[in-house]
Chains A and B, each alone.
Chain A
Amino acid sequence: MNEIKTPRGGSNYQWVGKNTPRPDGVDKVTGRARYGDDMIVPGMLHGKILRSPHAHAKILSIDTSKAEALDGVKAVVTSADIPDHPMAQPPYPPIVNDFHDISRNVMAREKVLYDGHAVAAVAAISEEIARDAIKLIKVEYKVLQHILDPREAAQPDAVVLHEDLFTYGVEPKPTKPSNIFRVMHGERGDLNAGFAEADLVIEREFSSQPVHQGYIEPMACIATTSEDGAVELWTSTQGHFVQRTLLSKLLNMEMAKIRVTASEIGGGFGGKTTVYAEPLAIRLSQKTGRPVRMTMTRSEVFRATGPTVGSKTRIKVGMKKDGTITAGEAEIWYQAGAFKGSPIGRAVDTFFSPYTVANCKAAAYDVCVNRPKVAAYRAPGATMACYPMESVVNELAKELGLDPVEVRLKNAVKEGDESLMGTKHGRIGLVEVLEAVKEHPHYKAPLGDNEGRGFAVGYWLHGGGLSSAAVNLMDDGTLGVATGNPDIGGSRSSMRAMAAEELGVNVELLKPIIADTGSLGFSYLTAGSRTTYATGMAVVNATREVIDKLRALAAKKWDIPVEDVRWDAGQAIATDNYKDIKPLSLKELAGMATSMGGPVAGHSEINASGQGATFCAQLVDVEIDPDTGFTSTKRHTVFQDAGRAISPDYVEGQMQGGAVQGIGWALNEEYIYDDEARLQNTGFLDYRMPVASDVPMIDTVIIEVPNPNHPYGVRGVGEPPLVSAPAAVANAVENAIGQTMSDLPLSPPKILAALHAQAAGDD
């Protein structure tokens, strides 16, 4: 059962909050929609990448002569074809785009740093020849010792990946290179006093494994270079404008010479936010003068594109008998992968964020290890910090005999409170979310044998930032709505609904498109749950500009001041002073526009701010099979403050999809390496994501506490469900078997071992 709760009463909107037809829907159910690998360009070549079989090795030499000599091979590239860049220098922003690293990640230079690291690439007239050609490339390696665990890699005597990496943010400046790139801290209050006040203090260690975003569409792109140097790129990405920026800096090309078109995208979840094969395809097309298509295999996706971080955590939390959390202290080590830059700031921000903990301290370490460089995965950095905290809060509540939801309510952050990284909350909906949990029948439903119920709450500060939009009125009164954000899960519907609401016309009159980088102002990624918020704001602005122009047009036609013309329900209306002037409809105005001054269009380029926190709570019932240790999810309800659900079906879809990804993360998914640090589970058979028969229906409760900074009150909804889902599932397992499970995933062997240990202890 899905429901929507709007504590401040409903809305009178015509399109916003309604399930309107999806503009790209028919193309996607008929196979017509074109994704990354669906573009066929005459004369195109096929690119293939040679990848390292070693996790850590020096490259002594690369001999490409045999490959180049193979009939049908048109070009080979190595790191010599990718410009080198100096290392970024401090002071570092929270997220560092270091082209020194990016150039080495797309193509290994001095060393290979993970199994699957790209070493060379070829373009040939067929895929088969390209595959044969890469086998003819001879690479001489000197294998080095590898390191996979972030806490081991953080030790002073650990083997280092980068001789030129010195820990940033510690004094005095280190003289020895390290795998720790930086440490981030957050602190408030007096920890000792806080722990002294507590009636119960629990300290535990946790770990989680890297998991892959698991988008079903592998990366794919086609690059074409013309004789005048202009590059056209078609690619499956979460941000073609960001790709253009990265490619222009990486390849030292003028931005205007690179035009990127985003294909339809078959899932991303944060994984398609950077460049992988694109620069190689461009270099191969420059060398050959022909279009070059590069599509990764699934095994390449697993081995060489960023999963999310794996983590190790130490956490200590103190609680009073009445449930007040008095103090919290956490340290977390994130696996950045081969290059620096894991989302440690989010970890610091996440640990204690749902709660008004007066005394707390968090530290997070960004540690390089011989794994693929991490990429974002749906709420990057938050999930691994939410899980330990919510597990300990669960345990504290249980030990003190308190209701888990009441404990959260007692400590819940409200308007005016501040997160540990300094975000001061505006109007937020955590209390409303928790109240909705208490009222829900799931909360008190009886449990069967071997079943346990878990509860957890998560926090995500969603994104705002740079977005552009254009709304173009056509002569017949239909409109085009252009944005620069690839539509991953129905955002066209939401953009269209907001524009139609502003105009007061039927959504079907508007056709939303995703414009290429040559056609619109810069738009940041479809990521961080920012699109409906930030790009939606740009769409509303652009639509309002169209409305203003139409009012001016009507004023001109009527020869009255524009202030005397208002816009309502799809028409320009003169104020009551002009009783005999009949309103002009959008269609009528559109018909006269070109002859009365010119085409009508609106556009908006903004840096959206004012975004707020979103909270998502989940109730999960699991059943454990005591003979096999297998966990099945029996019931799952997601409660989330969406601010305002523009397209409720698709908000529910985000909640359900995130919940099921969380089930996979908590119970099953992990990277398995052999002794040589070669990835063993490079396919969906062994990297087992949830399938339809693994999960129940996922019930949703959308809570609407509008964000006053957005014209429709939107909060980002994509990420929050994955923040708390693994924690809720883990708590359910813990409650079912009666012990803390501190090492995700909670796969059957681990649960069985815990059950056996328990039985042995009981004897």
Chain B
Amino acid sequence: MARHLINAMVNGDRVEFVCGTGQTLLDVLRGELHLTGTKNGCGTGDCGACTVVLNGRPINACLVLGAEVDGSEIETIEGMAQGGELHPLQQKFLDHAALQCGICTPGILKMAQAYLETNPDPTETEVRFALAGNLCRCTGYDKIVRAVLDAAAEMRASET
């Protein structure tokens, strides 16, 4: 398999890695960069556990090739807390007990973060549809949806 030398910004750090043509961004993040916070629940784009933000858009890292991200900016769960402070979404997930096993949590947090940037004041239904690509088998989604709505409210309040 051919190898490619790739440069990218990951969570604000310039990184360089070599990847095979068939390796996905998820393989690279987890296997090469050892950023194992991004999870693999299916590898086929069906669960959202691998959600990261690529050039400002939330994507499934298992559906993007490592070789495609040359020159890109990537944000993963590891970069979400800043300067020792949890992001409001992370804090609200804890406050609302919005995780049980927690395997879906990194993907859902990244999805929610990206979504709230496009829609800072969503309805419950909008949040449900925004998260429809992120499976959670533990919580029944109730507390996740509440946490996202509450975080959105707090983020709006701190904007003003």
Tell me the A residues contacting B by CB distance below 8 Å: 19, 21-22, 24-26, 28-35, 37-38, 40, 128, 213-218, 264-269, 295, 297-298, 488-490, 649-650, 652-654, 656-661, 683-685, 689-693, 695, 697-698
A489 near B44: Cβ-Cβ < 8 Å: no
A685 near B46: Cβ-Cβ < 8 Å: yes
- Which of B124, B136, B146 has the most A CB atoms < 10 Å from its CB? B136
Q: CA separation between A244 and B38, bound complex, in Å?
A: 29
Q: Chain B residues near A489 (CB, 8 Å)?
A: 100-101, 138
Q: CA separation between A652 and B138, bound complex, in Å?
A: 11
Tell me the B residues contacting A by CB distance below 8 Å: 1, 20, 22, 30, 34-44, 46-47, 49, 76-78, 80-81, 86, 90, 93-94, 96-97, 99-106, 109, 124-125, 127-129, 131-146
CB closest residue in chain B, given A648: B97
Q: Chain B residues near A298 (CB, 8 Å)?
A: 41-44, 46-47
Q: Chain B residues near A35 (CB, 8 Å)?
A: 39, 103
| Chain A residues touching B, majority SS | loop
B143 near A653: Cβ-Cβ < 8 Å: yes
A34 near B36: Cβ-Cβ < 8 Å: yes
Tell which of B77, B86, B103, B131 touches A217, judged by Cβ atoms closer than 8 Å.
B103
A327 to chain B, nearest CB (A): 37
A30 near B77: Cβ-Cβ < 8 Å: yes
B51 to chain A, nearest CB (A): 12
A661 near B145: Cβ-Cβ < 8 Å: no
Q: CA separation between A38 and B106, bound complex, in Å?
A: 14
Q: CA separation between A607 and B120, bound complex, in Å?
A: 52
Tally inter-chain residue pairs, CB-CB below 8 A: 181
CB closest residue in chain A, given B91: A29
B131 near A692: Cβ-Cβ < 8 Å: yes
Q: Chain B residues near A269 (CB, 8 Å)?
A: 137
Query: Known contacts being A216-B136, A266-B101, A691-B133, is A31 close to B94, with CB within 8 Å?
Result: no
A695 near B140: Cβ-Cβ < 8 Å: yes
Tell which of A19, A683, A684 touches B97, judged by Cβ atoms closer than 8 Å.
A19
Q: Chain A residues near B125 (CB, 8 Å)?
A: 693
List 28 contacting pairs A-B, 8 Å CB cutoff, sorted by A. Answer: A25-B94, A26-B94, A28-B105, A30-B37, A30-B77, A30-B86, A31-B37, A31-B38, A31-B76, A31-B80, A31-B106, A33-B102, A128-B22, A215-B137, A216-B137, A264-B101, A267-B103, A267-B137, A488-B100, A488-B138, A490-B97, A653-B138, A658-B140, A659-B140, A661-B140, A691-B132, A692-B128, A695-B141
Q: Chain B residues near A24 (CB, 8 Å)?
A: 102
B146 to chain A, nearest CB (A): 8
B106 to chain A, nearest CB (A): 5
Query: Known contacts being A31-B36, A214-B137, A217-B103, is A656 close to B143, with CB within 8 Å?
Result: yes
Tell which of A38, A684, A692 touches B132, judged by Cβ atoms closer than 8 Å.
A692
B107 to chain A, nearest CB (A): 9
Q: CA separation between A218 and B39, bound complex, in Å?
A: 10
Q: Give me the 7 closest cross-chain CB pairs, A-B, nearest first.
A: A31-B37, A266-B103, A28-B102, A660-B140, A489-B100, A656-B140, A31-B77
Q: Chain A residues near B137 (CB, 8 Å)?
A: 213-216, 267, 269, 657, 661, 689
Q: CA separation between A32 and B80, bound complex, in Å?
A: 12
Q: CA separation between A267 and B90, bound complex, in Å?
A: 20
B101 near A217: Cβ-Cβ < 8 Å: yes
A698 near B142: Cβ-Cβ < 8 Å: yes
Q: Chain B residues near A214 (CB, 8 Å)?
A: 135, 137
| Apart from the given pairs A25-B94, A34-B36, A683-B44, 9 other A-B contacts in the complex at a CB distance below 8 Å | A31-B106, A32-B37, A37-B40, A128-B22, A214-B137, A653-B139, A692-B128, A692-B136, A697-B146
A278 to chain B, nearest CB (A): 19
Q: Chain B residues near A692 (CB, 8 Å)?
A: 127-129, 131-132, 134, 136, 141, 144-145
Q: Chain B residues near A661 (CB, 8 Å)?
A: 137, 140
B65 to chain A, nearest CB (A): 14
A216 near B135: Cβ-Cβ < 8 Å: yes
Q: Chain A residues near B124 (CB, 8 Å)?
A: 697
B90 near A30: Cβ-Cβ < 8 Å: yes
Query: Known contacts being A216-B41, A650-B97, is A267 close to B134, with CB within 8 Å?
Result: no
B90 near A29: Cβ-Cβ < 8 Å: yes
A128 near B90: Cβ-Cβ < 8 Å: no
Q: CA separation between A19 and B131, bound complex, in Å?
A: 26
B94 near A22: Cβ-Cβ < 8 Å: yes
Q: Chain A residues near B47 (CB, 8 Å)?
A: 216, 298, 684
Q: Chain A residues near B76 (CB, 8 Å)?
A: 31
